[in-house]
Amino acid sequence: MSKEDFYEKLKNSPRPVVVDFWAPWCGPCRAIGPVIEKLGHDYTGRVDVWKIHADSEPDIMRAFRIFGIPTVIAFRDGQEVMRHTGSAPAQVLQPLFEAALSGNKPARSQLTAVQRLLRLGAGLALIIVALIAGLHGFTWLIAGLGAIVMFTAVYDRCPVYRPVSMRIMEYFQKKPAAILEKDRQEID
């Protein structure tokens, strides 16, 4: 199937779609297969489940920027709503089906105060280790890692992070459609 055909089929689907990108040689793909099958059965008539063989459809993989399998993507009205890469249990994958039904991504769980403090402490410890060792060569990486760990404790409260991350997400969500439209124009 060409990527144009896939995109048209996706846009014209009467129900939301969850697409499982997999390959038979992929162990995690085989592990996630029964989970997707059971969830597909649970959502019969409400959400369609498609399986795309990654090795047979490289154009589709590139169009949707899939760099690892298994990748499961939820679509509603032809637009990507949510994705998950890697093997996971049903409770992690079920939100994909719910997102396909509602068209909304589930809210991310907030960090507790203890989790925030642990991340801040771990990051600070890495920075202190780098400072004690002297900031040269490899220790700059340790200090940078410490800063990243500290940022993960407060990123959701950062006033700049949210608008920047939303713009980046919008760009990448619209990108597959833009790539396909460009390819359609080149074909015509």
Q: In this prediction, what percent of the chain has a pLDDT beyond 90?
A: 29
Dihedral pair phi/psi, residue 182, rounded to 5°:
-60, -45
Within 10 A of 72 (CB to CB), how many other CB atoms are there? 25
Check which CATH number belongs to the domain holding 45 and give it: 3.40.30.10
Instruction: Determine, yes or no, domain membership for 179.
Output: no
pLDDT at 162 over 70: no
pTM of the model: 0.58
Question: Could you please report the per-residue DSSP string of 15-80?
Answer: S-EEEEEE-TT-HHHHHHHHHHHHHHHHTTTTSEEEEEETTT-HHHHHHTT--SSSEEEEEETTEE
What is the predicted pLDDT for the residue at 157? 67
Q: Do both 86 and 101 map to the same domain?
A: yes
Residues forming beta bridges with residue 51, ordered by sequence position: 20
Residue 52: which domain range?
A: 3-107
Encoded tokens for 131: 């400072």
Q: Do both 30 and 94 map to the same domain?
A: yes
Q: In this prediction, what percent of the chain has a pLDDT beyond 70?
A: 81
What is the predicted pLDDT for the residue at 12? 87
Q: Do both 83 and 26 map to the same domain?
A: yes
Instruction: Determine, yes or no, domain membership for 60.
Output: yes
pLDDT at 87 over 90: no
Encoded tokens for 65: 């920027």
Instruction: Determine, yes or no, domain membership for 34.
Output: yes
What is the predicted pLDDT for the residue at 172? 67
Residues identified as active-site: 26, 29
Top pLDDT among 15 and 104 is at 15
What is the predicted pLDDT for the residue at 179? 55
Q: Do both 84 and 152 map to the same domain?
A: no
Structural domain count of the chain: 2
Q: Do both 62 and 143 map to the same domain?
A: no
Contact 77/100 with Cβ under 8 angstroms? no
Instruction: Determine, yes or no, domain membership for 81.
Output: yes
Q: Do both 87 and 129 map to the same domain?
A: no
Lowest mean pLDDT among 59-68, 133-142, 146-155, 174-183: 174-183
What is the predicted pLDDT for the residue at 85? 85
pLDDT at 51 over 90: yes
Which three-class secondary structure state does DSSP give residue 18? strand
What is the predicted pLDDT for the residue at 21? 92
Instruction: Determine, yes or no, domain membership for 80.
Output: yes
What is the predicted pLDDT for the residue at 160? 66
Cα–Cα distance list, 128 to 2, 19, 123, 144 (Å): 54, 46, 9, 11
